[in-house]
Amino acid sequence: MSVYEKIKEKIISSAGYVKTKVSEMASKVQKFLGDLYDEIVFTPDEDYERLEACEQERIESCLRAIAEVLGENPLNRLMSLSPQERALALCLIVEKTAEYMSIEIDNIILGDFEDINGYYSEANRAIALDIQRLIEEPMTESTAKGVLATVFHELRHAYQHNACKSPALYNMDRATARIWRTNFKNYISPSKNPRRYFNQPVEQDARDFALLVVDCFNS
């Protein structure tokens, strides 16, 4: 082996050594920083397919709760109930779905909120639903669908809050959890700016999720 080849081999073997050391250091830094690491760099989720399957399971949890409370034809069933029975049915759906998705809901508030259909309060871990739509007589199919969509929209907000605190525990990809975390820190209320409220990531996601659930059934 010529001197030149010996030097070349040495450089190549040192490069491998340096590369290994750098990657060891990177994993130590990642371990040390924990969730904070994702605040600094976006990292790809290696188990993306498993996370997608978990999202599908969450949709199925909602459908299971609906079927258990309202049966095979949920819209017609909801429309045929008395206002009191409807309120009870929706509370039951919230409780069951929360249980299936491993999220804590301490309170369900039914109130007259005029121009909003409902909201989720992280401070009180409460889901609030507008009573006026609920007691509409006769209830139309579009209202029945809308009321159920609101329930799953607000439940999704509860899930988002949990998932952005512990993405691994709630099987959510870290990049999405990071976007939600940043969005909640800078949340735009509808009174501040209706268009930006509508377009922010947590609202888009809650609407999409609720639609995926309610579009699974028709009267």
Q: Which is nearer to Zn ion, 144 or 202 (CB)?
A: 202
Residue among 117, 121, 192, 110 at smallest CA distance from 147: 117
Point out the residue whose Cβ comes nearest to Zn ion: 206
Q: Which is nearer to Zn ion, 150 or 171 (CB)?
A: 150
Residue among 183, 181, 212 at smallest CA distance from 198: 183
Q: Could you tell me how many residues of this chain bind Zn ion (CB under 5 A)? A: 2
CB of 203 to Zn ion, least distance (A): 5
CB of 51 to Zn ion, least distance (A): 22
CB of 105 to Zn ion, least distance (A): 15
Binding track, positions 154-193, relative to Zn ion; x by CB under 5 A: ----------------------------------------
Q: What is the DSSP string of 131-189?
A: HHHHT-SSPPHHHHHHHHHHHHHHHHHHHHHHHHH-TTTTT--HHHHHHHHHHHHT---
Q: Which is nearer to Zn ion, 84 or 124 (CB)?
A: 124
Q: Which is nearer to Zn ion, 79 or 146 (CB)?
A: 146
CB of 160 to Zn ion, least distance (A): 9
In the chain, the amino acid numbered 46 is E
CA distances, 12 to each of 15, 17, 107, 119, 206 (Å): 5, 9, 63, 60, 52
Interacting residues with Zn ion between 189 and 208 (CB under 5 A): 203, 206
125 Rama sector, left if φ>0, alpha if ψ -120 to 50, beta otherwise: left
Q: Which is nearer to Zn ion, 79 or 206 (CB)?
A: 206
Q: Please state, in angstroms and rounded to a whole number, the distance separating the CA atoms of residues 91 and 109.
A: 9
CB of 153 to Zn ion, least distance (A): 5
Q: Which residues bind Zn ion (CB under 5 A)?
A: 203, 206
